[in-house]
Chains A and B, each alone.
Chain A
Amino acid sequence: MTKLAHNAPGLLETLLLIRGYEETVIALSDAGDGPGTCTSVGQEASAAGVVAALAPHDRILTNHRSAGHLLARGADPGRMLAEVLGRSTGYCKGKSGHLHMTASELGVILTSTIVGGSLSLAPGVALSLTMTRDDDGIVACFFGDGAACEGLFHESLNLAVMWKLPLLYVCENNQWQAYVHRRETMPSDTVSTWAQGHGLPVASVDGNDVLAVQDAARTAVEHIRRHRTPYFLETLTYRTRGHVEPDDQAYVDAAELAVWTARDPLTMLSRRLLDAGALEQTGLETLRYRVSARLDAALTFARESPFPDPSELTTDVYAEEA
């Protein structure tokens, strides 16, 4: 079993925040107050564990299940919810909506909801790091098993290997590709088998064990910093909600869902902490309360924020002329 890291209580708070945020967005959607949305419920440990292993000068590219990556990086849930609700105070002034959120001030610099989009952009970002900066920064690119079925997956890995780019590929294998189970689209249970053919170091980890993810990500990041070459990390996890909310998940195998729900990343970590005496039940309640209060305030902020001025419709398309 992975050692109980000193930051484990903090990781639990991050997991609670991500889950609470996603549940807030689902509730908005259910009530007809917000858009249908793609959540990362069930996959929180993958986001929290990997992002915890990154440094402030590292850069992140993400996808349509980005809430975990953003929140783990310190994003303000109020500005995120404002973006979901199309308000001008959102990270992207309401022009992204919930699917394509970018927060460059946090190093979450490019987000594409085109499956495989982040894979296409990441080598260029890593190339930029090597050519414009002297530090040991790396790029983390998050994508899923669905994106691995795009041709760009192979193009991206191949270029990163050949150009020796400091790039961490994080494949969050959540077993679902929109409405199709991974077993219908790939011969292997893991994407790692494909990655191995590209000749970069490959690791696979229980994506629901945040401490194991953090350890594996630290090893990966250290390797990239030292060698300035790419690394492939697969986090094996499960999307316990549907593709887009609302979703009755009638197409989901109930037994499989039950197995993964029993391995819920929040329950796993809180049990670890309680069993180890690193956290009391009251401490857990305090964490829950703190997260809940933060999200309440965030939602209030978002709801009270103004919509963009109609003049915003045509701004930000082109850079200003020099």
Chain B
Amino acid sequence: MNQINVNDAVSQALLEEMRRDPRVLIFGEGVATKRTQLLTEFGPARVRNTPLAEGILAGTAVGAAATGLRPVVDLLFAPFLCLAMEEIVNSAGKLRYMSGGQANFPLVVLAMTGAGWGVGAQHNHNIEAWFVHSPGLKVVMPSSPADFKGLLKAAIRDDNPVIFFMDLALGFDTGEVGDDEHVVPLGRARTVRAGRDLTLVSYAKTVHTCARAAETLATEGIAAEVIDLRSLKPLDTSAILASVRKTGRLVVVHEAAAPCGVGAEIAALVAEQGFDALKAPILRLTGPDVPAPASWPLEQAFVPQADAIAAAARRLVATATI
């Protein structure tokens, strides 16, 4: 075990997987410039700088994946994926099905997003739900250095296209990270904290906000269970349902806007399959449906805060049993 930050965890995952499998390569704007260790060890064929042209980068990853390589393409910031939607959604996500299974598409798209650096709405937009809504893709959004490493390794080893969202504000968070064989399977949530009174479901940096809210609640005698989804697709529905069956109360917290978001999906899941266990209405605490602001106080106001989560939890716990 070593104590490293998220950025280093990502670098370790790339390094280890490129050593493990010669078919893995990485390209994107500035990849060879910035990832000098990878360039030195693996050379310019497997570590490539590219033009600023997200469409062709994503398409190239799809074409390469279909024919024997395992590309990681760094598209930098999530809003730039708008320039690569055709290739990610229509090609990576659909061509396996449309060809009757004639090819696999083992590729990973890296993209940063989230509040914390004041980069504004064209560099910060939590669009992860868009890809959850697209067939054939997998979507990952980790919260801890260990999961950044373990999930990225799993994503690179997966035979399907994986969109790997990296919450900007977590880059310098440190934590214990496992060695070479630390692989976190896609599609499995993690219980960050156990509790019996209500369930807080989240992913990415708001997992930590939920954990802080849970600490506060604990001092008041309310035991909140905190679940980190880690993968949004496949979604660990059984972990969510099991927790809600235990606690009877659910708050879903994420920075992305509410309409048609991951929270809406989870609320629908629990309403359909866990309604009998509910003691109170399901709540969502999300970022507002507005472009992400750059100004620090506005950006902070954009993100769900621990106080608001704790307040919502208190309301739910006070709700009479249905």
For B60, give the chain A residue with the smallest CB separation. Answer: A124
Query: In angstroms, how far is the closest chain B Cβ from the Cβ of A35?
Result: 15
A128 and B68 in contact, given A92-B102, A117-B90 (Cβ under 8 angstroms): yes
Contacting residues of chain B (79-112) with chain A, CB-CB under 8 angstroms? 86-87, 90-91, 95-106
A112, CB-defined interface residue at 8 Å? yes
How large, as a class, is the contact surface on chain A? 35 or more
A124 contacts B159, CB within 8 Å?
A: no
Question: B59: which A residues are within 8 A, CB to CB?
Answer: 117, 119-121, 123-124, 152, 156
Quick one: CB contact mask for A287-322 with B, threshold 8 Å, 1 for yes?
Answer: 000000000000000000000000000011111111
Q: Pick from A132, A162, A317: contact of B69, CB below 8 A.
A: A132
- Of B48-56, B168-176, B239-247, B285-293, which stretch is located at the interface? B48-56
B67 contacts A129, CB within 8 Å?
A: yes
B71, CB-defined interface residue at 8 Å? yes
Question: A90: which B residues are within 8 A, CB to CB?
Answer: 100
A96, CB-defined interface residue at 8 Å? yes
B206, CB-defined interface residue at 8 Å? no
Query: In angstroms, how far is the closest chain B Cβ from the Cβ of A199?
Result: 14
Report how far A124 CA is from B252 CA in the complex, Å: 39
Q: Pick from A119, A128, A321: contact of B64, CB below 8 A.
A: A128
A100, CB-defined interface residue at 8 Å? yes
Query: In angstroms, how far is the closest chain A Cβ from the Cβ of B43?
Result: 11
Report how far A96 CA is from B101 CA in the complex, Å: 11
Report how far A110 CA is from B99 CA in the complex, Å: 8
Contacting residues of chain B (130-151) with chain A, CB-CB under 8 angstroms? 135-136, 138
A316 and B66 in contact, given A117-B90, A120-B59, A162-B51 (Cβ under 8 angstroms): no
A131 and B51 in contact, given A95-B99, A96-B98, A124-B64 (Cβ under 8 angstroms): no
Q: Pick from A110, A125, A127, A317: contact of B136, CB below 8 A.
A: A317
Q: Pick from A94, A102, A109, A120: contact of B56, CB below 8 A.
A: A120
Report how far A53 CA is from B14 CA in the complex, Å: 41
Query: In angstroms, how far is the closest chain A Cβ from the Cβ of B182?
Result: 18
A122 contacts B63, CB within 8 Å?
A: yes
B61, CB-defined interface residue at 8 Å? yes
Report how far A220 CA is from B56 CA in the complex, Å: 23
A131 contacts B50, CB within 8 Å?
A: no
A117 and B86 in contact, given A109-B103, A319-B160 (Cβ under 8 angstroms): yes
Report how far A93 CA is from B68 CA in the complex, Å: 23
B62, CB-defined interface residue at 8 Å? yes
B103 contacts A151, CB within 8 Å?
A: no
Contacting residues of chain A (46-69) with chain B, CB-CB under 8 angstroms? 59, 61
For B107, give the chain A residue with the smallest CB separation. Answer: A124
B56 contacts A131, CB within 8 Å?
A: no
For A105, give the chain B residue with the smallest CB separation. Answer: B102
Residue in A59, A91, A162, A316 with the greatest tally of chain B CB atoms within 10 Å: A316
A124 and B67 in contact, given A95-B99, A114-B90, A155-B55 (Cβ under 8 angstroms): yes
B65, CB-defined interface residue at 8 Å? yes
Q: Pick from A59, A109, A120, A156: contact of B86, CB below 8 A.
A: A120
For A97, give the chain B residue with the smallest CB separation. Answer: B98
A317 contacts B97, CB within 8 Å?
A: yes
Query: In angstroms, how far is the closest chain A Cβ from the Cβ of B46?
Result: 8
Question: B53: which A residues are within 8 A, CB to CB?
Answer: 155, 158-159
How large, as a class, is the contact surface on chain B? 35 or more
A95 contacts B51, CB within 8 Å?
A: no
B87 contacts A120, CB within 8 Å?
A: yes
Query: In angstroms, how far is the closest chain A Cβ from the Cβ of B19?
Result: 17
A316 and B100 in contact, given A120-B91, A162-B51 (Cβ under 8 angstroms): yes
B69 contacts A127, CB within 8 Å?
A: yes
Residue in B25, B55, B138, B157 with the greatest tally of chain A CB atoms within 10 Å: B55
B23, CB-defined interface residue at 8 Å? yes
For B138, give the chain A residue with the smallest CB separation. Answer: A318
Report how far A156 CA is from B102 CA in the complex, Å: 24
Question: B260: which A residues are within 8 A, CB to CB?
Answer: none
Contacting residues of chain A (153-192) with chain B, CB-CB under 8 angstroms? 155-156, 158-159, 162-163
Question: A155: which B residues are within 8 A, CB to CB?
Answer: 51, 53, 55-56
A93 and B63 in contact, given A112-B90, A120-B87, A162-B51 (Cβ under 8 angstroms): no
Residue in B48, B51, B62, B71 with the greatest tally of chain A CB atoms within 10 Å: B62
A319 contacts B56, CB within 8 Å?
A: no
A104, CB-defined interface residue at 8 Å? yes
For B54, give the chain A residue with the smallest CB separation. Answer: A155
A316 contacts B91, CB within 8 Å?
A: no
For A163, give the chain B residue with the smallest CB separation. Answer: B48
A-B contact pairs, 24 of them (CB 8 A): A92-B99, A95-B99, A95-B100, A102-B95, A104-B99, A109-B67, A109-B103, A110-B91, A112-B91, A120-B91, A123-B63, A124-B61, A124-B63, A125-B63, A127-B64, A128-B64, A128-B67, A131-B25, A155-B53, A155-B56, A158-B51, A159-B50, A318-B138, A319-B104
Given A92-B100, A117-B59, 16 new contacts (CB under 8 A)? A102-B102, A104-B102, A112-B91, A114-B91, A120-B55, A120-B58, A120-B91, A124-B59, A124-B67, A125-B64, A127-B60, A127-B63, A127-B64, A315-B101, A321-B159, A322-B159
